[in-house]
Chain A
Amino acid sequence: DVKVTQSSRYLVKRTGEKVFLECVQDMDHENMFWYRQDPGLGLRLIYFSYDVKMKEKGDIPEGYSVSREKKERFSLILESASTNQTSMYLCASRRTTGDSYEQYFGPGTRLTVT
């Protein structure tokens, strides 16, 4: 079974703090993704990485950065947390099988910025 783990289920941080969210997958997948999930908005892509040290901006990258130094680990960084970054953050990795693929998700980190 594919396993995607995230470092924290719940996190409370203060405005202006630097926040690190960690994601690890155990299936040697090349592609990894960070989303935020907000009620009524579905999932919005923040960043994705198609290989080690490679990254691409998604739809809402402002205020975020990422790091992928090892294949299994993809980190999301909030340089200076703000209250509008209070959200559920989901990490995913993608498995490709022939012409088909699917994303596997971690349990999410619910971040509250006060």
Chain B
Amino acid sequence: AQSVSQHNHHVILSEAASLELGCNYSYGGTVNLFWYVQYPGQHLQLLLKYFSGDPLVKGIKGFEAEFIKSKFSFNLRKPSVQWSDTAEYFCAVNLGSNYQLIWGAGTKLIIKP
């Protein structure tokens, strides 16, 4: 069955540190890729998405992600995190033209001030 793996369930960083959250999927066909964020007490919102074109995607709040097809990966990065980035981050994959998104388990990120 297709699946999405987020390698780290909890990540703790200090402000100004660089961030990379891993996301791998198991599917060999065409995929559409998403990163969503859920700030404490708020609804899920889209950070960025990849459908086609440049595999380096820039999103909101300084986040970016790189689609590496050969590695089945879509890792999320930010060069310098802030306390306000404390949140849970979810990777999701859509397989071709299917309506469904397959979600990773999420990574809780805590930024120490």
Kindly state the separation between the CA atoms of A42 and B101 in the bound complex, as whole angstroms.
Answer: 11
A29 on interface, CB distance cutoff 8 Å: no
Question: Are the C-beta atoms of A41 and B43 separated by less than 8 Å?
Answer: no
A-B residue pair count with CB separations less than 8 angstroms:
46
In chain A, residues 47-65, which have Cβ atoms closer than 8 Å to a Cβ of chain B? 48, 50, 56, 58-59
A4 to B4, CA, bound (A): 26
Contact A102 B49 (CB under 8 A): yes
Which among B9, B36, B100 is the interface contact of A45 at CB below 8 angstroms? B100
| CB of A44 within 8 Å of the partner chain | yes
B34 touches A102 (CB 8 A): yes
Measured between C-beta atoms, what is the minimum distance from B67 to chain A in Å?
14
Interface size class of B (residues with CB under 8 A): 20 to 34
Query: Are B43's CB and A105's CB within 8 A?
Result: yes
Q: Which residues of B contact A100 (CB under 8 A)?
A: 49, 51
Q: Which of A31, A40, A50, A56 contacts B105 (CB 8 A)?
A: A40
Q: A50 and B99 in contact (CB under 8 A), knowing A42-B90, A102-B46, A105-B44?
A: yes
Enumerate chain A interface residues (CB-CB to B < 8 A). 4, 31, 40-45, 48, 50, 56, 58-59, 90, 92, 94, 99-100, 102-103, 105-108
Binding site for A on B (CB under 8 A): 4, 9, 34, 36, 42-46, 49, 51-52, 90, 92, 99-101, 103-106
